[in-house]
Structure 1
Amino acid sequence: MRVVLLSILASLVFPFTNFGQTLDEVVKVGNRSFDTKDYYKAFRLYEKVLEYVGEGRYKGDWDSLYIKYRYAEAARQFNNYEAADSMYTVLCTESLGQNMDVYARSTFNLAQVKKSLAEEIFALNKTNMNRAVLEKARQLYQEFLDNNLRQHLKAFPASGKDDPEGLSPEDKLEFDKRAAKGIADCNAAIRAADENPGGIVLEKDTISRLSDVVNSEYSDLAPVLIGNELYFSSVKFPSGTTAHNRQSRTYSEVLKATFSGDGQGGLGAVLSLDTLAQSGLFNDGNDFSHTVHTAITHNGTWMYFSHCPQGSGESPSCKLYRRENKGGAWGDPEPMDSINADGANTAQPSISYDSQTGAQWLYFASDRKGTKGGLDIWRCQVNEADGSLAEPEHLSDVNSEWNDATPFYHALSDRLFFSSDRGSTFGLYDNFVWESCGSEKIARNLGLPYNSGFNDQYYFLTEGGERAFFSSDRPESTRFIDSLDACCQDIFTYPIDNSMELEIEVLGCNEENITSEAEIKIYDITICGCREKAKEYFEEKGRKFIEGTLVKQEDGSFKYIATVNRYHNYRIFASQEEFETGSANIALDCEYDGRKQAALPPIQLSPAFVDLTFVVHDKITELPLELEDYSLVFASEDAPAPEEVGKQTFRLFPKSNYTLNVKAEQSVYKPFTLLLDSVRLTKSCTDIIHVELEKRCEAPPALEGIAFFFDNDKPDRIRKSEWKTTNQRYNAALVDPYFAQWKDNNKKFNYLAFNLKPYVVNSWADLSGKVRFDELEGGRTDTLMNLITDNSQANLDRESLRYKVEKRPDGKFNITPDTTLVEGRIDRFFERDLKGDLERFDSLITYIKEYLETGSPVRVTMQAFCSVRVSGIISDYNAALAERRILCIRKTMEEALEEKWKGVSRAERQRYGKLIFLPPDAVSDKGAARIFPDPNLDPDKDEGGTYFLSAALDRRVQINKIEFGECGGDETSSTKTKTKNPGQP
């Protein structure tokens, strides 16, 4: 299984000293070195054999095309791209038709080589992509796909005499998959070339290679800076006599470089370079193993590292170990069995530390079960107290079906850096960043020149994000043999300017810019997390706030500008002697990427107090209400009642929230509630607030359904000949006699006496449709008078009188009242309906008066009802009586209003609305006679028409509708009175 331990773990020895070997034996050793990824040794061995092939002196068993292919591929694997390009170009001609396996592989690999060689680097900070070379690489990938070259692919022969079998279908499809990725990579690089025809030049954040004190002629990688100490891994190659052994040995060690400061927060000179002391298998150069990748917890107690043993002729296999720092010395290594997986590689650990929460996570790469591709990124939480690790978590959102490795999570910026050979890479491995900004989560290639056409890995950011490190085997890295433009990884670095200009404005009353008058203090709360107590925290710790500069703008206003750092959190305080101190927070997170300025929303200072003047007016007419016509009531949970400092002017405190309740004395206006919160109160030091009161669009429920009941033939006519006119008004003089309780003129008594009197009905036809059967207690079947069958009344509460209907032997029917029900209903008629509605009538007049005084008209529609004298017929007498009764109510209302307005000036009266009586609805006998026994059932028709309860209920005037002009903004809004059926309670 391929392990991305390093970009290259090459063994460097002088490869061929024993000329006693046969050439096939040399090929055999070369193949063994190639299989164990000792590509440089393999390259040298194949190179020596090819000298004999070129001279025609090779007579061995191997097809020379296979030897040339292995030579080219060994060169490519340790980055000797020029040699690989030359040989693959030859093979694409020589092998065509001769060895199609070699031809297919050469076409594919030459495309990969061309893609890497397309980057022309003039200097570390200037990169140019050669479009023609990229197009050639794309063409080769396309030829591989179009010509179905995967069909020719075979396993590499075990010996020169073997006839190798073809690759499995799955392995062949993997080549197509990588060819398609190569085309996508070329397309992305061509776009970058087209967008930057003059090349990509860095003016800031310039990349530099660390000095030769750190970077050796071999591979140096996996940098981690802690304070001024740089931990890194270095691949060491033996020298002296051991380098001439037939089987070379490589090993890796962890080193530490200590830097001086440069006086500006950066790195100075290297003061010392030390190899960490060997302890057990850690940095043991005497076995076939690699000690690489250093991760140290925030408290410096635990070190995690990869140990990758490599047996003779084997690929390295990696596990994680830890060491504990006791008394300044690192203890012996301990395997991390809780996360190491059998049969899998677990390597490349890195530690992330969240300064706000104290949480630490160990990120690592592994090809264990559950990965999407070759290597995937995993993480587990670290217990700093004992160095234990929690259950590993697979970062499925980050990982791809390719190799994803060398993870590093930067807690401050909330970004995960890693290297990958996934799509859209410029070289073999590119550095990527996984960003989770808002709802968008993407893996982004860091681009050129941070990536190159080679291997770029092990990206690392300092805690504050001001400096980056990475490893790369790009051409600027040191070569262990100057004549070879190949191998090895070096450590590169560049500063990152995370500084930004924070712009602050301070506003006072009426949003006036008072920045120049305010004292502004900025505190960095990134680490302390003290959002609310920042000022107290910093003063207690003796730390200074960040100072800025006042800058005058073109419009004459000022801004306070301070230099701050990206990915930090700040709390800003602004104060001025006439205002309360204000504050604001800002987090310069990923939303500010690529920006050099950040504008804080203006800090609105609250004045010490606010004087508000309230003007209350009618919403429709916009006429102000008099002070005595309404009341203002303030409520607050954390402030006393505001002081009235002037006419309708109150002093409020902006730190508190108030609720203002406005209630008009006139009930026609709806109450109004206004929230005066701290946001509204800080906009101005003084202000006039207009409160619009809205009129109701209907009468209060207590005044709905008023009916005016009249005694028989009342009100009186002016004279006998004028049926439709009357001088009587609906008042106590008219109603009291009807209500009188004296026995000699007690109408109530007379009604009781009449309605409790049994009577006889001559035939069943007179009862048809007016009775129903009801089951009474004791099982008796009785017949009752109709209890309402009218569907229009179905949803209304109803009352009725109960009568026993009994057929006599002579065929007639006795009608006998239920004494209890009849007495109760008649009593309610006089006490509730007659007297009660008369009392409510005065309240209705008061309400209409108040409404008219607002300047809006009121329109009234009435309807009169009459008792039935001839069943089912409304006579001319009934019609005239109805009109007289409506006139009585109209005049009563008009005169009542006049009485209430007595003494009001004509000019004031002209401002009032008009009371308008619309044509009345048609006279009706609807309702009562259908609910209660028909007066015509009484043999004494005239007496029944006077005293039967149904007749009394029919003698009424009812207000069907009241229309309120200009209500709610409409030309006319109305409320229909809930027509009260006389049978209702």
Structure 2
Amino acid sequence: MKRRLFSYLTLLLIIIFNSCGAEYNLKKAEKSLALGEYFNAAEHYRQAYRKVPTKDKKKRGDISLKMAQCYEKINATGKANSAYEKAFRYTSPGLDSELSYARQLLKAGAYKKAEGIFKDILDSVPGNKLAKNGLISAQKANEWKKAGSRYTVKKMSVFNSRRDDYSPMLLGDNYEYLYFSSTRNETQGDELNGITGTKSGDIFVSEKDDKGKWSQPEPVGGGLNSIEDEGACCFSPDSRTMYLTRCQTDANYPRYAQIVTSERSDAAWGKTNELNISKDSLSSYAHPAISPDGNWLYFTSDMPGGKGGLDIWRVRITAAGLGGVENLGEPINTAGNEEFPTFRPNGDLYFSSDGHPGLGGLDIYIAQGDSTAHYRLFHPGYPLNSQGDDFGMTFEGQHNRGFFCSNRGDARGYDHIYSFENPEIVQTIKGWVYEMEGYELPAAQVYIIGSDGTNKKVSVKGDGSFEMVAKTNVDYLFMATCKGYLNHKEEIHIGATEDSQEHVLQFPLASITAPVLIDNIFYEFDKANLTSESTKALDELVNLLNENPNVTIELSAHCDYKGSEDYNKQLSQRRAESVVNYLIAKGIAKDRLTPVGYGKDKPKTIKKKLTEKYKWLKENDVLTEEYIKKLSKEEQEICNQLNRRTEFIVLRTTYNLFDKDGQLKNPPKAKQKKFEENNKNGINISFEQ
């Protein structure tokens, strides 16, 4: 009798202990969930579930449901589906939970099972868009996988760790740097993130050498990384500003992701500054992307006014700051989640969504168009997309190749970086803007006009280059401009081709403030007569003056120190006049040209660029007779050749601009503002697989 009583008391104590333990874990779980610490919350729910008696079905079902929702947030798809199954076994969670479960089944590739649940949901709620698109996905995913595409993908072991590696972004004139986010052990701090169960992410970088080999990734130096969670970065068109996502840790408040910026000084990235996108401080702002023209910041947010879940928004970038937040609306945003916007340099917007028909989880989609035109959506198919989450595209210039990330095939739900390539015939135009006798001009801008209606302005990169995808059978005109320099124009016709091709254009800009050498001008020996070899250089000068019709120049000829001063001056004057006469014969107005022969009075001053060719010369050296006679005979002859030159310098930039009363002859006309009707209900969606 005593033994039986003891057993009952022991069992009662165990029940009481488990009940108290379950409540303790539930409180911890609810607190973690309120803070957005889904990993911690899932663990507390799991412990609470184990302590609840089997007969308490409702409580077990409620805990299982919350556990499933937490696992879903941290991409633990297998655990989420297992928890959903338990929840449905013990209770009836409702249509929203059924929908979430079916969407997780898509992510696991359990298409048949998902199909049945989507049909049941649509029987009850026929208009549910997520269920409709989910049903399409479940019924067609295997067909889409079988159809495949021209894409090839490869897992990049050099970038990947045993944790999350995601959101790659290429940078550099030759795309030799790959920045990405990682939660690997080398990140700062020692604590595990309550949201993910891993360390908080940092930005890492890998560099490609001349042989195409990528280095082992290292954390970005400077003040960029911190003990907080940094991820999903992008760069301004001039590569001087990094935009990235930061999620701060706070033990008492929910986690709201914010977009911050870092400025680059030389090769180092500085500490971050928060970017105030709106006055709404209770919404998350993440996954920044800068439009190719640099005028818009695109981002992901759950702020009010969206279509549901996470949406893609944009805000205009102006000299005065950010202003005018816009939701991209349909067809891009859905009742699901749209995240990770990024741009291909040709203007196509790439983003990931779990709300459109796809293979499961986040799929990558391509949106062509802009805010004043109808978007067309394209699904690039398998294997770029998979049943897992696929996102974070970055492109190697104009080519349809680069890197992205995916958690396909990873049972833990960790993201990894993959390469991709879609072979296609692409004609590109690459231009270089630089100073005559000098270096690249990173402050230059290029105006582009095409016979197909193209009309845009682009900024060059740090090396003075720009690149664009060209269309076939189109005539293009390019005008390079930079403050302090004359304009330069190039024209090109792009014909049809059977292979990808790159067309290279050069834009040497003449300084307005310094003498400009006219290279390859030749005269008959000891005479002023121009030789036929001079025609090309002279015709280029004609073009330059025609492109800059408000400019007048002094055309000067120079000699070396040999011969008498009077003779040299007379010869150089006649030579300058020969060039001017040629220009006049080609249609250049006489009063725009002033010929001057300086003889040996103005020896050449060495520019830095010339010291790369002649290592024994130094910048700002003046090639006087005294200086030259100290050199070797070979070096003396080179210096004399440099002194024997023809140059021009700009005198005025206002020629023929004003009438006799001092008024502009052709004042600019006020631009007529164009208004376009925004018909939100009239968007044409062309969704192709």
Report the TM-score when normalising by structure 2. Answer: 0.54
State the Cα distance separating 1:339 from its structure 2 match.
5.1
Aligned positions of 1:405-424 closer than 5 A: 405-412=339-346, 414-424=347-357
- Residues 673-706 of structure 1, C-alpha deviation per residue, up to 9 Å, x if partnerless? xxxxxxxxxxxxxxxxxxxxxxxxxxxxxxxxxx
Question: Structure 1 residues 319, 117: closer, same or farther in 2, change over 3 A?
Answer: closer
User: Could you list the per-position Cα deviations for residues 629-683 of structure 1 after superposition, in whole angstroms to 9, with x for gaps in the alignment?
Assistant: xxxxxxxxxxxxxxxxxxxxxxxxxxxxxxxxxxxxxxxxxxxxxxxxxxxxxxx
SS in 1 for 2:412: coil
Q: Return the offset for 1:209.
A: 1.6
Supply the AA of the counterpart residue of 1:184.
Answer: N
Determine if the alignment matches structure 1 residue 376 to structure 2 residue 353. no
Deviation of 1:307 after TM superposition, in Å, equals 2.4
| Alpha-carbon separation, structure 2, partners of 1:62 and 1:241 | 39
Conserved 8 A contact 1:524-1:571 = no
2:136 counterpart of 1:184? no
The whole-number CA distance in structure 2 between the counterparts of 1:524 and 1:388 is 31
CA-to-aligned-CA distance 1:168-213 (integer Å, 9 cap, x gap): xxxxxxxx86x542333332452353466xx2456x54201221x4
Match of 1:193? 142
Query: What is the SS of the residue equivalent to 2:214?
Result: strand
Task: State the alpha-carbon separation in 2 of the partners of residues 239 and 361 from structure 1.
Answer: 32
* Runs (5+) with no aligned partner, structure 1: 1-17, 119-132, 149-175, 263-267, 478-484, 503-521, 533-563, 574-582, 599-985
Describe the SS at the equivalent of 2:244: strand
Structure 2 residue aligned with 1:493, among 419, 423, 439? 419
Query: How much does 1:144 deviate?
Result: 3.2
Mapping 1:709-858, distance limit 5 Å: none
Change (3 A) 1:113 1:346: closer
The answer as to whether partners of 2:38 and 2:194 remain within 8 angstroms in 1 is: no
Question: CA offset at residue 474 of structure 1?
Answer: 1.5
Instruction: Assess, with a 3 A threshold, how the Cα gap between structure 1 residues 597 and 250 changes in structure 2: closer, same or farther.
Output: closer
After TM superposition, list the pairs within 5 Å mapping 1:480-519 onto structure 2.
485-499=411-425
Deviations 1:850-900 (A, max 9, x none): xxxxxxxxxxxxxxxxxxxxxxxxxxxxxxxxxxxxxxxxxxxxxxxxxxx
Distance 1:411 1:59, change over 3 A: same
Shift of 1:325: 2.3
What is residue 780 of structure 1 aligned with on the other side? none
Asked whether 1:460 is paired with 2:394, we answer yes
| Pairs within 5 Å for 1:272-671 | 272-277=216-221, 279=223, 282-285=224-227, 289-312=228-251, 314-337=253-276, 341-354=280-293, 360-382=295-317, 388-389=321-322, 391-396=324-329, 399-402=332-335, 403-412=337-346, 414-436=347-369, 441-475=375-409, 477=410, 485-499=411-425, 567=470, 585-586=493-494
Q: Note if contact 1:228-1:259 (Cα within 8 Å) is conserved in structure 2.
A: yes
Q: Which residue of 2 aligns with 1:143?
A: 120
Q: Residue 933 of structure 1 aligns with which residue?
A: none
Change (3 A) 1:241 1:61: farther
Judge conservation of contact 2:475–2:492 (CA < 8 Å) in 1: yes
**Contact persistence 2:22–2:49 (CA under 8 A):** no
Q: Distance in 2 between matches of 1:246 and 1:116?
A: 21
Hey, what's the Cα distance between the residues in 1 that align with 2:291 and 2:493? Answer: 25
1:81 Cα deviation after fit: 3.1
Query: Is 1:78 aligned to 2:96, yes or no?
Result: no
Q: Is 1:116 equivalent to 2:107 in the alignment?
A: yes
Deviation at 1:317, TM superposition (A): 1.1
SS of aligned partner of 2:378? strand
Matched length: 438
State the alpha-carbon separation in 2 of the partners of residues 310 and 142 from structure 1: 41
Letter in 2 for 1:134: Y
Q: 1:19 to 1:220 in 2, by over 3 A?
A: farther
Deviation, 1:50, is 4.2
The 1:258/1:21 distance shift into structure 2, 3 A limit, reads farther
The 8 Å contact of residues 252 and 290 in structure 1, kept in 2 or not, is answered as yes
User: How far off is 1:327 after superposition?
Assistant: 4.0
Instruction: Within 5 Å, give how 1:891-910 maps onto structure 2.
Output: none
SS where residue 411 of structure 1 aligns? coil
* C-alpha distance 466-526 of structure 1, shift in aligned 2 (>3 A): farther
Q: What residue number does 1:612 align with? A: none
Quote the offset at 1:224 in angstroms.
0.7
Q: Secondary structure at the match of 2:136?
A: helix
Match of 1:964 in 2: none
- Structure 1: distance between partners of 2:140 and 2:165: 32
8 Å CA contact 2:118, 2:134 repeated in 1:
no
1:566 Cα offset (Å): 6.2
Classify 1:184/1:260 alpha carbon distance in 2 versus 1 (closer, same or farther; 3 Å). Answer: same
Deviation per CA, 1:519-554, whole angstroms, max 9, x where unpaired?
A: xxx97679977789xxxxxxxxxxxxxxxxxxxxxx
Question: Match of 2:201?
Answer: 252
Deviation of 1:341 after TM superposition, in Å, equals 4.1
Q: Distance in 2 between matches of 1:239 and 1:332?
A: 15
Matched-pair contact (CA < 8 Å) for 1:468–1:496: no
Partner residue, 2:154: 208
Q: Residues 461 and 320 (structure 1 numbering): CA distance in 2 closer, same or farther, change over 3 Å?
A: same
Secondary structure of the 2:183 match is strand
User: Taking every aligned residue pair, what percent have the same amino acid on both sides?
Assistant: 20
Residues 498 and 565, structure 1, Cα contact 8 Å, conserved in 2: no
Q: Which residue of the partner structure matches residue 162 of structure 2? A: 217
User: Does the aligned pair in 1 maintain the 2:286–2:301 contact within 8 Å?
Assistant: yes
Q: Distance in 1 between matches of 2:116 and 2:141?
A: 18
Q: Give per-residue Cα distances to partners, 1:576-626, cap 9 Å, x unaligned.
A: xxxxxxx973488xxx9xx9799xxxxxxxxxxxxxxxxxxxxxxxxxxxx
1: CA distance, partners of 2:394 / 2:196: 35
Aligned counterpart, 1:229? 177
SS at match of 1:67: helix
Give distance in 2, aligned partners of 1:33 and 1:375.
21
Aligned AA (1:111):
A
Residues of 2 paired with 1:339 and 1:312: CA distance? 25
The answer to whether the 8 Å contact 1:419/1:431 transfers is: yes
Offset from partner CA, 1:342-392 (integer Å, 9 cap, x none): 4333222122335xxxx5543223344544444333334556xx7954544
| Distance change >3 Å, CA 433–CA 144, structure 1 → 2 | same
Q: Deviations over 1:108-157 (max 9, x none)?
A: 34322322222xxxxxxxxxxxxxx4243122122234357xxxxxxxxx
User: 2:355 and 2:116 mapped to 1: Cα distance?
Assistant: 20
- How many angstroms does 1:407 deviate by? 1.4
Q: How far did 1:463 drift?
A: 2.0
Q: Do the aligned partners of residues 584 and 439 (structure 1) sit closer, same or farther apart at CA in structure 2, a change above 3 Å counting?
A: farther
In structure 2, how many angstroms separate the alpha carbons of the residues matched to 1:27 and 1:61?
16
CA RMSD of aligned residues (A): 4.5
**One-letter amino acid of the structure 1 residue matched with residue 203 of structure 2:** V
Tell me which amino acid in the other structure corresponds to 2:381.
Answer: G
Residues 1:570 and 1:229: Cα distance change in structure 2 (over 3 Å): farther
Q: CA deviation at 1:433?
A: 0.9
Letter matched to residue 219 of structure 2: T
**Structure with greater contact order relative to length (CA < 8 Å, sep ≥ 6):** 2
Distance 1:261 1:430, change over 3 A: farther
> Quick one: structure 1 residues 234 and 19, their matched pair in 2 at CA, closer, same or farther if it must change by over 3 Å?
farther
Give the deviation of 1:417 after TM superposition: 0.9
SS at match of 1:426: coil
Q: Please list the CA deviations of residues 76-97 of structure 1 after superposition, one character each: whole Å capped at 9, or x if unmatched.
A: 43333334334434543x33xx
Q: TM-score, normalised by structure 1?
A: 0.39
Contact 1:467 1:495 in 2 (8 A): yes
Cα distance change, pair 332–73 in 1 and its aligned pair in 2 (3 A): closer
Match of residue 63, structure 2, among 61, 64, 67? 67
Equivalents in 2 of 1:245, 1:499: separation in Å? Answer: 47
- Which of the two has higher C-alpha Rg? 1
Q: Give the 3 Å change call, closer, same or farther, for CA 248–40 of structure 1 in structure 2.
A: closer
AA matched with 2:380: L
Could you say if the C-alpha distance between residues 425 and 526 of structure 1 is closer, same or farther in structure 2, counting changes exceeding 3 Å? farther
1:22 is paired with a residue whose SS is helix
- Deviation for aligned residue 1:59: 9.2
